[in-house]
Amino acid sequence: MSAADDGRRALSRREDIVRRWRATGGRGRKLRGLVELLRPYRGRTILMFLTLIAATAASLAPPPLAKLAIDDGIVPGDTATLNLVVVAFIVSALVYWGATYAQTYLVGWVGQRALQDLRIQLFAHLQSLSIGFYSQRQAGVIISRLTNDVQALDQLVSDGIVTLFGSSLTLVGTAVILVVLDWQLALLTFLVFPLLGIGSVAFRIVSADAYRATREKVAQITAYLQETLSGVRVVRIFAQERRHEDVFERLNDENRAANMKTVNLNAAYFPAVELLSALVTAAILLYGGLQAIEGDVTVGVLVAFIAALNNFFDPIQQLSQLYTTYQAGMAALDKIFELLDEEPDLRDRRDAIELPRIRGELRFENVSFSYSPDGEPALDGIDLHVPAGQTVALVGSTGAGKSTFAKLAARFYDPTEGRVLVDGHDLRDVRARSLRSQMGIVPQEAFLFSGTIRENLAFGRADATDAQIQAAARAVGAHDFIAALEHGYDTEVGERGIQLSAGQRQLVAFTRALIADPRILVLDEATSNVDIQTESRIEEGLRRLLAGRTAIVIAHRLSTIRRAGHIVVLEHGRIAEQGTHEELLEAEGAYWRLYRDWAEQAAAA
């Protein structure tokens, strides 16, 4: 099976899980989602439960065996019976050992693969979400979903399931043993059930919000940490370390307070269960001891009953402690599926076509767009035809709509009104991947991934050879600085390319775009971080980069604007004027005024 088939199968399974999750509601929704994670491994999951039953049965054997050893072996002096009981003890211990080993292995095997699937599904879902989603969310909060919340779910899946079913089986099995040993003593023990039930319900209600709050606080801390580390240079420049420390301290204090609420609840509830267990054991010793003295029960029954009481209250305690893990895991699962609930703003239509290799003709037909339903339009009634292979410069003041124009061309958003066409195809009728695979964007701040320069250059074309990479770097003017580095093309660039200067990062971005060989190229203030001398060196490289391609150039640099075959001036989301450089200067309109200001600034520099 091909990688593409594997990818489609994984996507289908993720969509199936999300669809089943959305079909249910409330707590059942969470549990259904958890079951769906385990569904692909149901064979091993069933085997895990069988070993769990065997281990539980073996753990319940000692009290009845103790009763047999005392009443049928020790008291009457029957060594044969005593020997058989001892053998039974050893067999039960071996069964418990083997079953527990298998159960522990299977729980780990199933749990880790289910969580691995979940992380992959979450990451794939994040890749499918629209750009608008990320502009409205903190990256740290999203990261917390894949790290902290999945870790909390790991504890529930790996430990919680075993405790839940193992303790429940032990509790039921012990109750049966107690009734068989002495139903009167058993009824006396069961009198505590109402108290335990009331306490458990109260603990569950009060602790639910507390555990949900801890997930929120952890996400806030992760988000602030990610943002602060990303902007550490700005923090240092403005000497705001102390202020950031104060904010981080406040967030940690809120996190501590939220966790202390759960600590106080645990401190009040769990020792109370222990105290109740001790009181019941004391009552059984008193009442049962009197019965044994009077000869109404045998010593073996009393010893077995007291031994079984540990198996009765221990599961209750374990189930109560499990609720801590359960609440944290359910709160995390709620946040995880809340993320999976997010729908992409843009989806390919079912009948969307694969875009063939395009010539690059671009057309905007009466296009209007607003980022919010009630907001001012970022673009308003745009009509523009860009022939294949033409370079169009978009100019205008900040907020005029230049970047929005480029985003619509790349179909990061769909127009509110009108349509955008490439080679006559409405972008809403084609698969977005087939469009973007033929587009290249060089933004103002070139983003590089951790790794080597070579890996970043080949990002858009993984099969690029070393010869092709070097040829592209020479064409753009990046080869000289790369060759001068100690490790050349194998130089590590660091996170976001921090080991390189802004100009070097931009040169790498230009080369990366050239290697990808896009049919439509968007340069969004791409030379603003390159100094005049560097720009002059790459001017010839830019000509090669733009040659034969449709290019949308958003720039303030005069040299870049003059190279454009067509210039469009945007004002408040509308086209104020358009034409060639010479035509617009002769008109002495909006472009002439902008050009005059740019020229003055360039002269002053």
* Closest C-alpha to 504, from 550, 323, 512: 512
More confident of the two residues 243 and 208: 243
- Between CA 177 and CA 306 the distance in angstroms is 11
- Angle, CA of 159, 163 and 166, to the nearest 5°: 135
Would you say residue 32 has pLDDT above 70? no
- Angle, CA of 448, 452 and 455, to the nearest 5°: 75
Would you say residue 38 has pLDDT above 80? no
Query: What pLDDT was estimated at residue 94?
Result: 93
* Closest C-alpha to 591, from 393, 440, 368: 393
Q: Which two tokens stand for residue 458?
A: 């080949």
Q: Which two tokens stand for residue 399?
A: 């907020």
E strand or H helix at 439: strand 439-442
pLDDT digits (tens, 9 = 90+) for 128-168: 776 667 766 767 677 777 777 777 777 777 777 777 788 88
Secondary structure string (H, E, C) spanning 83-143 = HHHHHHHHHHHHHHHHHHHHHHHHHHHHHHHHHHHHHHHHHHHHHHCCHHHHHCCCHHHHH
- Between CA 401 and CA 572 the distance in angstroms is 7
Q: Which two tokens stand for residue 426?
A: 């409405």
By DSSP bridging, strand 417-422 and strand 566-571 are unpaired
Would you say residue 4 has pLDDT above 50? no
Task: Decide if 218 contacts 146 (C-beta within 8 A).
Answer: no
- Between CA 195 and CA 180 the distance in angstroms is 24
Q: Which two tokens stand for residue 527?
A: 């030379």
- Between CA 457 and CA 473 the distance in angstroms is 9
By DSSP bridging, strand 550-554 and strand 520-524 are parallel
- Between CA 300 and CA 275 the distance in angstroms is 26
Task: Decide if 578 contacts 569 (C-beta within 8 A).
Answer: yes
Q: What is the mean pLDDT of residues 305-334?
A: 73
Query: What pLDDT was estimated at residue 98?
Result: 92
Q: Which two tokens stand for residue 12?
A: 């289908």
Torsion of CA 478, 482, 483, 484, to 10 degrees: 110
Query: What pLDDT was estimated at residue 91?
Result: 92
> In whole angstroms, how far apart are CA 551 and each of 5, 348, 385, 393, 463?
35, 25, 13, 8, 24
Query: What pLDDT was estimated at residue 328?
Result: 72
C-alpha radius of gyration, the chain, whole number: 35
Query: What pLDDT was estimated at residue 13?
Result: 53
Would you say residue 555 has pLDDT above 90? no
Q: What is the mean pLDDT of residues 462-487?
A: 84
Task: Decide if 447 contacts 512 (C-beta within 8 A).
Answer: no
- Confidence band for 110, pLDDT divided at 50, 70 and 90: confident
Domains and CATH numbers, the chain: 8-340 (1.20.1560.10), 362-604 (3.40.50.300)
pLDDT digits (tens, 9 = 90+) for 497-529: 788 877 788 888 888 888 887 888 888 776 666
Ordered alpha helix ranges (H), 129-192: 131-135, 139-144, 150-155, 161-181, 183-190
Query: What pLDDT was estimated at residue 212?
Result: 73
Query: What pLDDT was estimated at residue 528?
Result: 65
Would you say residue 432 has pLDDT above 70? yes
Query: What pLDDT was estimated at residue 1?
Result: 45
More confident of the two residues 538 and 376: 376
- Between CA 24 and CA 144 the distance in angstroms is 25
Neighbouring residues of 446: CB distance < 8 A, sequence distance ≥ 6: 497, 502, 505, 506, 508, 509, 529
Residue type, 604: A
- Between CA 103 and CA 95 the distance in angstroms is 12
Q: Which residue has the tokens 């523009």?
A: 384
- C-alpha 154: how far from its chain's center? 14
More confident of the two residues 176 and 599: 176
E strand or H helix at 566: strand 566-571
Percent above pLDDT 70 for the chain: 83
